Structure 1
Amino acid sequence: MMDIAPVLPRTGSGPMVLVVDDDEDVRDLVTFKLQMAGYRTVTAADGCTALTLISEAHPDLVVLDVAMPGMDGLSVCYRMHADPATAEIPVIMLSGMASETDIDLAFVSGAEEYLPKPVNTGELVRRVSWLLPRRP
């Protein structure tokens, strides 16, 4: 089932992470783990909603699924990095596809990190905490 409207940022004082995945279970798990680590979260179930939230909410980091109906994660990442207003937002790609070509495409589109699914949430939180302090 797809979300129709984006979810507003959850309360907290930490940096805001946008979690984008068409799989509600993955979205909920990643969101929960990030919140437990002290991050505020906002979620989207598709690429178009993600682009809207990126431009309006200016998250500190985006966790982005590659394979989604409509606009895929590679397109979202490329578009956000082509826009000077959002180009500096780091992206961690999540995907069930982990061939060398898939990983290369993610990095070419602008991703800073790439994690295969099923995602190791401990590793995801470590990479989020590593990327956010690097932001200017």
Structure 2
Amino acid sequence: MPSPASHPPTIVVAEDNAEQRSLYVAVLSGVGYRVVEAADGAEAVDIVRRERPGLVLMDVTMPGTSGWNAVRTLKQDIDTRGIPIIVVTGLASAWDRDASMASGCDEYLAKPVPPVRLIEEVKKFLPL
């Protein structure tokens, strides 16, 4: 039986665009992370509460619960507030960055994010 230390760190990827989500999954699982997918903010919150991942990659503009609302919900929950959240969004203005940081995220990346940069940013919070 493998030891707990041999289990790869888990990342929840919350992105409503299936193609973009698949790209993140391929990049992150390709370097050794376990990736769990969510298609909207509400699903992301449910999965994070259940899985207790090491990191969340969160889009902002999603149907239903926005990424910003999902971030706020997770950061207000005593059980999930310590989980780092990186917002990855096509909203690239200074206002969008400020709003993302105000929601409680730990880092903000404007799309498109090259795979090498995505891996670098993720490893800052969740080393392999």
The residue number in structure 2 matching 1:54 is: 48
Percent of aligned positions that are identical: 38
Give the gaps of 5 or more residues in structure 1: 1-11
The residue number in structure 2 matching 1:110 is: 104
Q: What's the RMSD between the two structures over aligned residues? A: 1.1
The residue number in structure 2 matching 1:87 is: 81
The residue number in structure 2 matching 1:8 is: none
Q: What one-letter code is carried by the residue in structure 2 that aligns with 1:129?
A: K
Q: What one-letter code is carried by the residue in structure 2 that aligns with 1:119?
A: V
Normalising by structure 1, report the TM-score: 0.86
Q: Is the 8 A contact 1:64 1:73 kept in 2?
A: yes
Q: Is the 8 A contact 1:13 1:39 kept in 2?
A: no
Q: Distance in 1 between matches of 2:61 and 2:16?
A: 8
Q: What one-letter code is carried by the residue in structure 2 that aligns with 1:27?
A: R
Q: How far does residue 83 in structure 1 lie from its aligned partner after superposition?
A: 0.4
The residue number in structure 1 matching 2:3 is: none
Q: Distance in 2 between matches of 1:102 and 1:126?
A: 22
1:17-56 map, 5 Å: 17-56=11-50
Give the gaps of 5 or more residues in structure 2: 1-5
Q: 43, 61, 78: which is aligned to 1:67?
A: 61
Q: How far does residue 13 in structure 1 lie from its aligned partner after superposition?
A: 2.6
Q: Distance in 1 between matches of 2:43 and 2:68?
A: 14
The list of structure 1 runs, each at least 4 consecutive aligned residues, that deviate by more than 4 angstroms after superposition, is none
How many residues align? The count is: 122
Q: Does 1:119 align with 2:125?
A: no
The residue number in structure 2 matching 1:5 is: none
The residue number in structure 2 matching 1:13 is: 7
